[in-house]
Amino acid sequence: MTLQVRELDALASIDATQWDALHDGRNPFVAYAFLEGLERHGCLRRDWGWTPRHLTLWDGGELVAAAPGYLKTNSHGEFVFDHAWAHAYARHGMDYFPKWLFAVPYSPVTGPRLLARDDAWRRELLAAMAGHSAAAGLPSAHVNFHTDGEDALFGDDWLPRSDVQYHWHNRGWTGFDAFLADMDHRHRKNIRQERVKVARAGVEFRRLHGDEASSVELDAIHHFYRQTFAEYGNAPALTRDFIGHLARSMSRNLLIILAYLGGSPIAGALCLRGTDTLYGRYWGSDAVLPGLHFETCYYQGIEYCLEQGLARFEPGAQGEHKIARGFLPAFVRSRHWIADPAFRGALREWCAEEAEATRRYAASLARHSPFREAAGPAP
């Protein structure tokens, strides 16, 4: 075996079949079509802090392991917040950037990050991350939203962090009414009232996969996506070309939910579907109607999961209001390699304190479950 480590500045430099042979295809965010599409269709910009730098391992001419990676000059679009770390470096006259991030851009979604056929190659990949970061003089490397199975592969030199999201888990309900029947009276009544308000307003919904959506409908979902970013004063990263690319190349993974009033679209949610999970990513609206957000982003997605037999619905990061709608707290994880020994020691203590606070927070959230039979936070 002659193992070679190569850093790639574009996924287009390798073949899609080589990349996709390294994962099981269950998570759409690590698919070649998704990641390479972000690069090809103008979603990653250096002036926004994103420079592709993928790490790959080769055994002769065979790609045996890979990790989607990016050199970052800020923490934009990561969802694992390390601004306090950057400020601490600055106070000590040190550079925190550039850092090497191994993650999926703009996607706080748990999934495989160490793509390989077995754990031996994954460990080699982790060693290469740290070794090449040190050789390049980078202050840190980060692996965000990795899977639980991958977590055991990290050594003590990778500091652990955790956070809480809110996920819906299918308990085998036969439909939305059965889902509501497992809730206590107050939460069940509240959801029914929210849905009735939207229906009485005359709003109708369509759920379309990529191959079922016309260019007009793709235009509409991209408009709603841009609308939300404009309202918050942020720049939308996903281009209309990229949405069209998903509709063509990942047609059954792309799901758009459109709300119509008087025959015209007034709101929409953009989702991706994996083998057993629906991932809610973006939403936007031109109208302000009671319950419209909850119906578009949550209840339509739950109905889709029940119809399709999906096990889980992850509607996006943050939002304690999701608990009342059946989304319970779940832990998400990241790992961090810090080059400077002094900072590594200080941040190890910081991470331990954060982890304990996160565990207490998740336990307190779980006590507010809307279900009659309460469940603790997902591991």
Confidence of residue 379 (pLDDT cuts 50, 70, 90): low
Q: Report yes or no: 269 and 304 within 8 Å, Cβ to Cβ.
A: no
At 318 the pLDDT is 87
Helix H or strand E segment including 62: strand 62-67
Domain boundaries, the chain: 3-163+329-366, 171-310
Residues 6+ apart with CB under 8 A from 219: 240
- Can you give the pLDDT at residue 281? 96
Give the pLDDT band (50/70/90) at residue 354.
very high
Q: What is the mean pLDDT of residues 205-225?
A: 98
Phi, psi angles (nearest 5°) of residue 136: -85, 0
Taking the C-alpha atoms of residue 347 and residue 261, their distance in angstroms, rounded to an integer, is 52
What is the model's pLDDT at position 67? 98
Does 164 have pLDDT greater than 90?
yes
pLDDT score at 234 = 87
pLDDT digits (tens, 9 = 90+) for 74-94: 999 999 999 999 999 999 999
DSSP 8-state code for residue 53: -
Per residue, the 3-state secondary structure of 153-213, as one string, reads CCCCCEEEEEEEEEEEECCCCCCHHHHHHCECHHHHHHHHHHHHHHHHCCCEEEEEEHHHC
Coil, strand or helix at 1? coil
| Residue 373 pLDDT grade (very low, low, confident, very high; cuts 50, 70, 90) | confident
For residue 377, pLDDT beyond 80: no
What pLDDT, on the 0 to 100 scale, is given for residue 232? 84
Asked if residue 375 has pLDDT above 60, the reply is no
Return the CATH superfamily for domain 3-163+329-366. Answer: Gcn5-related N-acetyltransferase (GNAT) (3.40.630.30)
Q: What confidence tier does 44 reach under pLDDT thresholds 50, 70, 90?
A: very high
pLDDT in tens, 303-336: 999 999 999 999 999 899 999 999 999 999 999 9
CA distance 356 to 36: 37
Q: How far apart are CA 328 and CA 372, in angstroms?
A: 13
Tell me the percentage of the chain whose pLDDT exceeds 90: 95
CATH topology of domain 171-310: Aminopeptidase (3.40.630)
Whether pLDDT at 174 is above 60? yes
What is the Cα gyration radius of the chain? 21
Average pLDDT over residues 170-174: 97
pTM above 0.85, yes or no: yes
Q: Is the pLDDT of residue 118 over 70?
A: yes
Q: How confident is the model at residue 355 (pLDDT cuts 50, 70, 90)?
A: very high
Beta bridge partners of 330: 165, 378
Predicted local confidence at residue 348, as pLDDT: 98
Average pLDDT, the chain: 96
Q: Provide the pLDDT confidence category of residue 233 given band limits of 50, 70 and 90.
A: confident
Q: How many CA atoms lie within 13 A of 113 on its CB side?
A: 29
| Predicted confidence (pLDDT) at residue 378 exceeds the cutoff of 70 | no
User: Does 176 have pLDDT greater than 90?
Assistant: yes
d(CA 292, CA 261): 11
What pLDDT, on a 0 to 100 scale, did the predictor assign at position 238?
Answer: 97
Q: Which residues of 277-306 are buried (b: 16+ CB within 10 A; e: fewer)?
A: bbbbbbbbbeeebebbbbbbbbbbbbbbbb
| Across 118-133, average pLDDT | 97
What average pLDDT does this structure show over 254-266?
A: 98
pLDDT > 70? residue 376: no
Give the whole-angstrom CA distance, residue 336 versus residue 85.
Answer: 11
Reported as type and span, the H/E element at residue 311 is none
User: Any residues with CB less than 8 A from the CB of 60 and at least 6 apart, and which?
Assistant: 2
Token pair, residue 184, equals 């206590």
Q: Do domains 3-163+329-366 and 171-310 have the same CATH topology?
A: yes
